[in-house]
Amino acid sequence: MSRIGKKPVELPSGVTASVSGQTVEMKGPKGTRTFKATDDVTITVDGNVVTVEPRGKSKRARQQWGMSRTMVANLATGVSEGFKKELELSGVGYRAQMQGNVLKLSLGYSHDVNFEVPEGVTVTSAKPTEILVEGIDEQQVGQVAANIRAWRKPEPYKGKGIKYKGEYIFRKEGKKK
């Protein structure tokens, strides 16, 4: 039995859900999102509660049960609160600033890195060493943050690079004479 799948999804205030076939559509203050579930699960809406049930006892149905419930819960969270990832730049001369729809990063290369922000995600840089990625799609927010981080991952000797806020960087000692 799926422990996650058994829990019903409570819809926050201001969020409405509708099911047509295998497609779930959620509307909230931040926008509208949809999710198409596989034929292995049944999704029902009762007032402000969404439940997901497996169709049968096959392994695939049980796998899709928990995953579909999590996707529906992420839809509800996304359209009501949204998702965010915070990044920190550490290193001498490492800076970030927004110019229109482009994030300009100075990361120690001979040139500045221009990162084009995709549609559906907002990137802000309140301080030159902090980047905030926000949006209603958790997967897209995480992917944009990972793409920004990939330009200069934190290295273990000095800890320079772009890291997630609160991420622990395992430090190494370096050479001894």
- 3 state SS for 74-110: HHHHHHHCCEEEEEEEECCCCEEEEECCEEEEECCCC
Pair 24, 74: CB distance under 8 Å:
no
pLDDT > 90: what percent of the chain? 57
Residue 99 pLDDT more than 80?
A: yes
Taking the C-alpha atoms of residue 17 and residue 50, their distance in angstroms, rounded to an integer, is 8
For residue 24 the two structure tokens come to: 């779930």
Please, is 152 exposed, middle or buried when counting C-beta atoms within 10 Å of its C-beta (0-12, 13-18, 19+)? Answer: buried
Pair 148, 162: CB distance under 8 Å:
yes
What's the whole-model pTM score?
A: 0.86
Please, is 90 exposed, middle or buried when counting C-beta atoms within 10 Å of its C-beta (0-12, 13-18, 19+)? Answer: middle
Pair 35, 71: CB distance under 8 Å:
yes
Taking the C-alpha atoms of residue 103 and residue 22, their distance in angstroms, rounded to an integer, is 38
pLDDT confidence bin for 1, thresholds 50/70/90: low
Residue 21 pLDDT more than 90?
A: no
Q: What is the pLDDT of residues 143-162, one digit of tens each?
A: 999 999 999 999 999 989 99
> Whose structure tokens read 């998702």?
83
